[in-house]
A and B are shown apart, each in its own frame.
Chain A
């Protein structure tokens, strides 16, 4: 009875129609995501456990066969290393951007954002040209007599790490900068006026307040690195097999759909687990919102 009365209340009815209309407006975009993200991912999940009957063979293989678990381990190690390196390089730059005068701040941010909007392929190409045996870096090193033999900096894990850090560094700097910029200067001044030295106010006031940015940046870089494909494929020289390459090889070379799907599902589960844990500390839109 109460429900019926509500339905007859014109303002409520209006509101309901309003909300229905808004949902309908979001529907076309939702359908695209449904067809091209949810259905494909669901299909991969299904394929990973079903092949003429249910099987866990595809998952068992990840743990039992060397190339699989080694690839997962390598991906994890590279991602961890890249994240730490990006934090180490990115924190001072974000700090400089947040504390510099307006003109300098714009310049610093532009230098961070410009590479961000350059194609990953273009940057992989640039790194190939810079780091190869006859590349610019080796020529300079030899010219100044720092090395006798050209160093092997590309077609290996080192080349992958260098290019990956380069590509992911803006994803570290931008959330850090956004957080630091919001730290009120009054707090630092208050700390200083109470007798804190600059390094003291930094460690005790600024750094703790910037931690949400650190968490957002490190999460973003780590997760993106876990799924990196183009850079290891082009700069890894076929020896640095990251998880994404495992997926593509199983599809392209071996036609092993079940195996590829299982690897993909494990990767996806890892990514979502990380987001789930992180979302307990900071809202997720803070991780992704700052482009």
Chain B
């Protein structure tokens, strides 16, 4: 049925080029990370694990990795319950003020990140949270909340709320009926939200640049300084690992979602 007109060929070629433009820069870091060369060259002269060894053997990179993983872990542990509670409230309430609450909770996505970063820096300086672990975690909880809330609100909207009503009318209290009836059925959306909050904490850079310091510097801050000042080729190895981690998490989230549908 479809005729292969010139226009159609041009369209397919154009789209393929755009998709290549999107994906190539992400893929090119992989061969670069296995290069034996000191400078960024492509194709690599020969393969080696040199930059991975250098990354693992470097105490500063390792410490930064530990900080990032700890921060991301605590961020998920705190942002997920807060986000689920807020999403439940947004979905269940008919009050007009809830719309305002919802918009307010989405603010971290709307306000330019540099303004948030400078503002938090200023507030933290007053309360002594600069260069501390709780400070970093709290900032990442704030940035992760919109992801959890968006995902869980969507999950709750496709869930039949009368089921929870039935459980309550049979004498279960609200909290238990949520845990036993509702939560298992929106599990996929909660998990998706948690995963996105985790990735958001792994990738967060700008706020960390301002508020972290000393031994509590996340990986991204060290990467940023290294990229700005003098490029350390270990970054290719770190980038590859970070990208692989993100991809696997996104894959996990999307297969979970699909299973539900």
- Whether, in the assembled complex, A126 has its beta carbon less than 8 Å from a beta carbon of chain B, the answer is yes
A202 to chain B, nearest CB (A): 11
Judging by beta carbons under 8 Å apart, are A134 and B22 in contact? no
- Whether, in the assembled complex, A8 has its beta carbon less than 8 Å from a beta carbon of chain B, the answer is no
In chain A, positions 139-156 with a C-beta closer than 8 Å to chain B are 139
- Whether, in the assembled complex, B250 has its beta carbon less than 8 Å from a beta carbon of chain A, the answer is yes
Judging by beta carbons under 8 Å apart, are B246 and A118 in contact? yes
Within the assembled complex, what's the spacing in Å between the Cα atoms of A44 and B192?
A: 34
In chain B, positions 97-154 with a C-beta closer than 8 Å to chain A are 97-98, 101, 103-123, 138-139, 141-142, 145, 147, 149-150
Interface size counted on chain B using CB atoms at 8 A? 84
Judging by beta carbons under 8 Å apart, are B25 and A166 in contact? yes
Chain A residues with Cβ under 8 A from B116's Cβ?
36-37, 40-41
Contact A126 B239, CB 8 Å, known A267-B115, A291-B150 = yes
Judging by beta carbons under 8 Å apart, are B239 and A119 in contact? yes
Within the assembled complex, what's the spacing in Å between the Cα atoms of A288 and B107?
A: 11
Chain A residues with Cβ under 8 A from B242's Cβ?
118-119, 122
Judging by beta carbons under 8 Å apart, are A32 and B206 in contact? no
Q: Is the interface of B mostly helix, strand, loop or mixed?
A: helix
- The closest CB in chain B to the CB of A34 belongs to B104
Across the interface, A119 reaches (CB within 8 A) one of B89, B120, B246, namely B246
- Whether, in the assembled complex, B19 has its beta carbon less than 8 Å from a beta carbon of chain A, the answer is yes
Chain A residues with Cβ under 8 A from B42's Cβ?
129, 135-136, 139
- Whether, in the assembled complex, A56 has its beta carbon less than 8 Å from a beta carbon of chain B, the answer is no
Within the assembled complex, what's the spacing in Å between the Cα atoms of A127 and B174?
A: 52
Chain A residues with Cβ under 8 A from B90's Cβ?
26
- Whether, in the assembled complex, A192 has its beta carbon less than 8 Å from a beta carbon of chain B, the answer is no
- The closest CB in chain A to the CB of B243 belongs to A118
In chain A, positions 112-140 with a C-beta closer than 8 Å to chain B are 112-115, 117-130, 132, 134-136, 139
Within the assembled complex, what's the spacing in Å between the Cα atoms of A38 and B110?
A: 12
A185 to chain B, nearest CB (A): 14
Judging by beta carbons under 8 Å apart, are B21 and A166 in contact? yes
B17 to chain A, nearest CB (A): 9
Contact A23 B111, CB 8 Å, known A29-B82, A36-B139 = no
Within the assembled complex, what's the spacing in Å between the Cα atoms of A38 and B103?
A: 13
Judging by beta carbons under 8 Å apart, are A227 and B40 in contact? no
Residue contacts A-B, CB under 8 angstroms, 25 given: A23-B89, A25-B89, A32-B82, A33-B108, A36-B138, A36-B142, A37-B111, A38-B107, A39-B123, A40-B122, A41-B115, A96-B15, A111-B22, A112-B19, A112-B22, A115-B26, A119-B242, A121-B224, A126-B25, A128-B227, A166-B21, A169-B18, A234-B228, A248-B114, A272-B110
Q: Which 7 A-B pairs have the closest CB atoms?
A: A40-B119, A227-B112, A126-B25, A29-B86, A26-B89, A244-B114, A122-B239
